[in-house]
A and B are shown apart, each in its own frame.
Chain A
């Protein structure tokens, strides 16, 4: 008989656990404000003995999705908008560093053989891609958002084509460059503050970035025998970007997360490439899908992780924001 006495308690416990599961996907404030009331209304709607039916469960799941989507749309996106505006003006300029290899090759040929003998297609097959970004950069600086956005998407598409036809090698560096190109195109397209990008950054903070890009190109011009100059130039670029983003502001921190994602994903892809090839884990021909997945999937993982981490740190109060 103790079994039957325990039945109502077990049933109640199962019901409570089930209710918790059904509400688990809703935000905390919604659960506390509407949760029990919603489940009671759902039970009234359906015959209580059969509740919850599959339709009830699907409805409750869809309700959770709707609540989250609405709150995402309603949230204060000002820091992300400001961060996107900064990315829209800095990313095209940073991408000009891609001209480095072509500058070196062209300079070498001109030095030894003369300009007229330069085999452009062999020496600088990806030059059109970087020259396209040389058009996007001033358009973004002048606040011509729509024209810059169109040009950015064309330049990004050109980058994909260049990689596909072998004009640009699919290296860890190119994976980071492709992500940066996508970020620039998206920022110029969707950020309403993009026309004010230079005003948001400030010319005093923008000029060091431009100077550091020139330094990187100069280092590439010198070639691989001047590794120290190359390292100093890239470090200077990183510092200039951080300075330009104003890391004490929320918009600036979001810009730093966005702009660091290509660098960290390129580093991760480089480590993976070393692991796959140097350790002979898998033969090259079989490793290609893994490497391609790492090159173009890793950036999305890195970006999502960094964004989530930043949000958690800010919510915990670890980063107090200065006035924008």
Chain B
């Protein structure tokens, strides 16, 4: 069965949660760091994704804390989410390995041959 490619923000959110349970702002900061500043998640996009990931069973709420009078909910990766992240990682690695091999062949100097 072919697995549909995952969008990069979703991949990075799951990657952030693979390390440890995190709250929303923590996920945004971690994704910033993982992507080298390329993907800057904002709250609307993040929580829409978390809602979807929770309904898919890949993410679930872990625990809550009160910080400065505000409730912070932490999210964690579920075993199903881990499997899906693993499958996506394998797919991307396979594509990257193929590209690397072909690039190596592309850059190798061709043997000299000449016309008379």
Instruction: Annotate A96-119 by CB proximity to B: 1 below 8 A, 0 otherwise.
Output: 000000000000000000000000
Q: Is residue A210 contacting chain B, with contact meaning CB distance below 8 A?
A: no
Hey, which chain A residues are within 8 Å of B43, CB to CB?
38-39, 41-42, 45, 56, 59-60, 63
Set A44, A61, A63, A74: member contacting B47, Cβ < 8 A? A63
Set B25, B49, B51: member contacting A41, Cβ < 8 A? B25
Hey, which chain B residues are within 8 Å of A60, CB to CB?
43-44
Q: Tally A-B pairs: CB < 8 A.
A: 70
Set B24, B45, B70, B73: member contacting A66, Cβ < 8 A? B45
Q: How many chain A residues touch B (Cβ–Cβ < 8 Å)?
A: 24
Hey, which chain B residues are within 8 Å of A33, CB to CB?
51
Instruction: Annotate A2-39 by CB proximity to B: 1 below 8 A, 0 otherwise.
Output: 00000000000000000000000000001001101111
* Best-buried of A39, A42, A74 by chain B (most CB within 10 Å): A42
- Complex alpha-carbon distance, A66 and B49, angstroms: 8
8 A Cβ contacts from A49-72 to B: 55-56, 59-64, 66-67, 70
Hey, which chain A residues are within 8 Å of B55, CB to CB?
70, 74
Q: Is residue B18 contacting chain A, with contact meaning CB distance below 8 A?
A: no
Q: Is residue A281 contacting chain B, with contact meaning CB distance below 8 A?
A: no
* Best-buried of A33, A60, A63 by chain B (most CB within 10 Å): A63
Hey, which chain B residues are within 8 Å of A70, CB to CB?
48, 51-52, 55
Q: Is residue B50 contacting chain A, with contact meaning CB distance below 8 A?
A: yes
Q: Is residue B84 contacting chain A, with contact meaning CB distance below 8 A?
A: no
Contact at B47–A41, with CB atoms within 8 Å?
Answer: yes
Hey, which chain A residues are within 8 Å of B72, CB to CB?
37, 40
Contact at A34–B28, with CB atoms within 8 Å?
Answer: no
- Complex alpha-carbon distance, A59 and B9, angstroms: 14
Contact at B45–A41, with CB atoms within 8 Å?
Answer: no
Interface residues of B toward A: which range?
A: 20 to 34
Contact at B45–A59, with CB atoms within 8 Å?
Answer: yes
Hey, which chain A residues are within 8 Å of B25, CB to CB?
40-41, 44-45
Hey, which chain B residues are within 8 Å of A67, CB to CB?
48, 51
Hey, which chain A residues are within 8 Å of B24, CB to CB?
37-38, 40-41
- Complex alpha-carbon distance, A167 and B30, angstroms: 65
- Complex alpha-carbon distance, A87 and B48, angstroms: 35
Can you name the residue of chain A whose Cβ is closest to the Cβ of B32?
A45
- Complex alpha-carbon distance, A200 and B50, angstroms: 38
- B115 to chain A: closest CB distance in Å? 54
Instruction: Annotate B29-50 by CB proximity to A: 1 below 8 A, 0 otherwise.
Output: 0000000000000111111111
Contact at B51–A62, with CB atoms within 8 Å?
Answer: no
Can you name the residue of chain B whose Cβ is closest to the Cβ of A22?
B44
Q: Is residue B112 contacting chain A, with contact meaning CB distance below 8 A?
A: no
- Complex alpha-carbon distance, A66 and B7, angstroms: 14
- Complex alpha-carbon distance, A71 and B100, angstroms: 39
- Complex alpha-carbon distance, A40 and B70, angstroms: 8
- A25 to chain B: closest CB distance in Å? 10
Q: Is residue B71 contacting chain A, with contact meaning CB distance below 8 A?
A: yes
Task: List the interface of chain A (C-beta within 8 A of B).
Answer: 30, 33-34, 36-42, 44-45, 55-56, 59-64, 66-67, 70, 74
Q: A34-B51, A38-B46, A62-B44 are in contact. List 6 more A-B contacts (CB 8 A).
A: A41-B23, A56-B42, A59-B42, A59-B43, A62-B45, A70-B51
